[in-house]
Amino acid sequence: QVQLVESGGDLVQVGGSLRLSCVVSGMSVESKSIGWYREAPGKEREGVSCSRGSDGTSKYADSVKDRFSTSRDNGKNTVYLQMNDLKLDDTAVYYCATKCSLYYGDTYYSDYYGMNYFGEGTLVTVSS
Give pLDDT tens digits for 101-112.
999 989 999 998
Predicted pLDDT of residue 54: 87
Burial of 42 (0-12, 13-18, 19+ CB in 10 A): exposed
The residues pairing with 70 across neighbouring beta strands, listed in sequence order, are 81
pLDDT tens string 50-84: 999 888 899 999 999 999 999 999 999 999 999 99
pLDDT tens string 78-93: 999 999 999 999 999 9
Q: Are 21 and 29 in contact (CB under 8 A)?
A: no
Q: What is the mean pLDDT of the chain?
A: 96
Q: Are 18 and 79 in contact (CB under 8 A)?
A: no
Residues 23-40: what's their mean pLDDT?
Answer: 96
Residue 115 has pLDDT above 90, yes or no: no
